[in-house]
Structure 1
Amino acid sequence: MKILLAFATLFSFLILPNNAHTQGTITVDSITFDKILQRFHTVLLKFDDKFPYGPFQDSFKDLVDSVANAKDFVIAEVPVTDRDNRENYHFGLNYYAFKPDFPVYRLFIKDTPTPIKYVGDRTADDLKRFLLRNTKVWLGLSGTIELLHELSGEFIDATLNNDTDTQTLLLEKAQNRVNTILDTKDQKSGEMYLKIMEAVMKDGIEFFKREERRIHNLLKGKVTKEKKIELRHREHILLSFKPLKESVSKMADAAKDEAASANEQIQETTMDAHKEL
């Protein structure tokens, strides 16, 4: 037994990471996190083991690298332990972050009272899509263009307000920006943005549901590798046009339902903790 324990200790020093902080993030606790919320408009909070490793952590690092230059957005880490002094243990319970589910992600948006729960596969691409659906942060997903991402948000706002004059002006502005693009692949993506805007002006907001359904069905079928890449690019571009308020509202309602069902689990966990003490 002593030999096995010695080997396990040696393994942890040689193989497992010895740094609880991921470069490009901010490590926080319950006190410092409140200060971060006051400073940034959008915060992605990650609850995880104190020394995370493996494919989930690799995906997390990929995500962090992709948002390094994002404005008014930050990723914060909460290292959690359930032994000794239970570092950040109760902080995690406050947001229904339980160790068996680690890593657990919560998205905080300014002036939105309830954080948005992430329920995806925890791959880098899924995390990026989650942020695109619920924030205005540009993440550089394949096929997307930063010059047109902000215009897309303005365009959808004008569409929801039935402001056809602003729609026309934004379409012209987008066309001018596409005309300045030199890269052939980016030009093709730029044309996708323009075609989507034109289709929305013709068919209205319902175009998005039909187009998303069409792409989803095509991706389930047999398509060439080139066509699949094109469809993924179009799918990513469509995310730039997502109505932010609608997405946040739906996720907030889901979070309230989750809170009600999680109360029982929190009570059981807290009772177990008192017993151990």
Structure 2
Amino acid sequence: MLSSKAHTPGTVTVDTFTFDKIRENFNVVLAKFDDKYPFGDKYDQFKKFAENVVNTKNLLVVEIPITEYGDKENQQLAKEYDVKKVDYPVYKLFLKDKSKPIDYTGDKTEDDLKRFLSQHTNLWFGLPGTIEELDHLAQEYFYASSNNDVNTQMSLLEKAREQVKRLVNEKEKKSGESYVKIMESIIKQGTEFLKRERRRVQNLLQEKITNEKKKEFQHRANILLSFKSLKESITDTIDAVKENVVNTGK
């Protein structure tokens, strides 16, 4: 259904005159270049995304509507950032300490947009299967592991175990146990375990598996994103994981 509004709740609509001011005053800006009145599944996914990240600290989601008629709104911005109509919607991530934006090339779904932001920022979006408190512990845990700080590793592992014990929801408890098992494996095998586990999950996603198993392994991949090494190094790998999920579904 055609949208009757040029503005999506949870976002800020900007133009050629205001975009630079916005970009300079926020640490993380996700910009969507699109038709002025978008519609369809991709727009529905964006609406869900915008609604669900509205309270995420330090993130601003902006819309840049582009028209090819009348005043030809924001054509200058489209040209400056090499945005083409055939690619709508086009997403670009602007970080305050980066001179150039990061182009988004993944599937245009709510979860994939969150996953993209998780790879390139320290923001927390609640990817399926993840738990905020354990995500923070996972990041600390990786730093300690990288520095061979065994005492801190053991302390954080114990904190994670205690948090999992307090979980009531069975799905959350299962996710919590995954965090703990990953931490235990890092103690035994070092941080190289993360790369091996990532490859294992990729391979499993390539196999013919049930939707339930596919969901389980995707949750595992999301949890692995909580460990800092993966956030810094697996952009291409996560794209491959998503492609594998699509192929498996087919």
- With the length of structure 1 as denominator, give the TM-score of the two structures: 0.78
Contact in 2 for aligned 1:16/1:51 (Cα 8 Å): yes
Contact in 2 for aligned 1:136/1:153 (Cα 8 Å): no
DSSP-derived class of the 1:30 partner: coil
Structure 1's unaligned 5+ residue stretches are 1-14, 252-277
Q: 1:222 aligned to 208, 211, 214, which one?
A: 208
1:195-206 aligned at under 5 Å gives the runs 195-206=181-192
Residue 247 of structure 1 and its aligned partner are, at CA, apart by 4.5
Q: 1:47 aligned to 33, 50, 61, which one?
A: 33
Match of 1:141 in 2: 127
Match of 1:232 in 2: 218
Match of 1:192 in 2: 178
Q: Judge which range, 166-175 or 206-215, deviates more.
A: 166-175
Q: Judge which range, 208-217 or 163-172, deviates more.
A: 163-172
Whether 2:194 is the aligned partner of 1:208: answer yes
Residue 130 of structure 1 and its aligned partner are, at CA, apart by 1.1
- With the length of structure 2 as denominator, give the TM-score of the two structures: 0.85
Which structure's CA Rg is the greater one? 1
Residue 91 of structure 1 and its aligned partner are, at CA, apart by 1.0
Specify whether residues 73 and 221 from structure 1 end up closer, same or farther in structure 2 by C-alpha distance, changes over 3 A only.
Answer: same
Residue 83 of structure 1 and its aligned partner are, at CA, apart by 2.4
Q: Which amino acid aligns with 1:138?
A: W
Q: Which runs of 4+ in 1 moved over 4 A?
A: none
Quote the Cα distance in structure 2 between the aligned partners of 1:191 and 1:244: 19
Q: Judge which range, 150-159 or 191-200, deviates more.
A: 150-159
Specify whether residues 225 and 80 from structure 1 end up closer, same or farther in structure 2 by C-alpha distance, changes over 3 A only.
Answer: closer
Residue 146 of structure 1 and its aligned partner are, at CA, apart by 1.3
Residue 171 of structure 1 and its aligned partner are, at CA, apart by 1.9
C-alpha distance after superposition, 1:224-254 (max 9, x if no partner)? 3432222121111111114377349x89xxx
Q: Judge which range, 55-64 or 221-230, deviates more.
A: 221-230
Whether 2:223 is the aligned partner of 1:241: answer no
Quote the Cα distance in structure 2 between the aligned partners of 1:108 and 1:150: 24
Whether 2:43 is the aligned partner of 1:57: answer yes
Aligned-residue CA RMSD in angstroms? Answer: 2.2
Specify whether residues 157 and 31 from structure 1 end up closer, same or farther in structure 2 by C-alpha distance, changes over 3 A only.
Answer: farther
Contact in 2 for aligned 1:132/1:138 (Cα 8 Å): yes
Quote the Cα distance in structure 1 between the aligned partners of 2:117 and 2:40: 22
C-alpha distance after superposition, 1:168-224 (max 9, x if no partner)? 332222222222211121111101011111212222222122111111111211233
Percent pairwise identity: 51
Q: 1:100 aligned to 71, 86, 101, which one?
A: 86
Quote the Cα distance in structure 2 between the aligned partners of 1:101 and 1:28: 20
Match of 1:91 in 2: 77
Quote the Cα distance in structure 1 between the aligned partners of 2:7 and 2:27: 22
Match of 1:122 in 2: 108
Quote the Cα distance in structure 2 between the aligned partners of 1:237 and 1:225: 18
Residue 122 of structure 1 and its aligned partner are, at CA, apart by 1.1
Match of 1:23 in 2: 9
Residue 159 of structure 1 and its aligned partner are, at CA, apart by 3.1
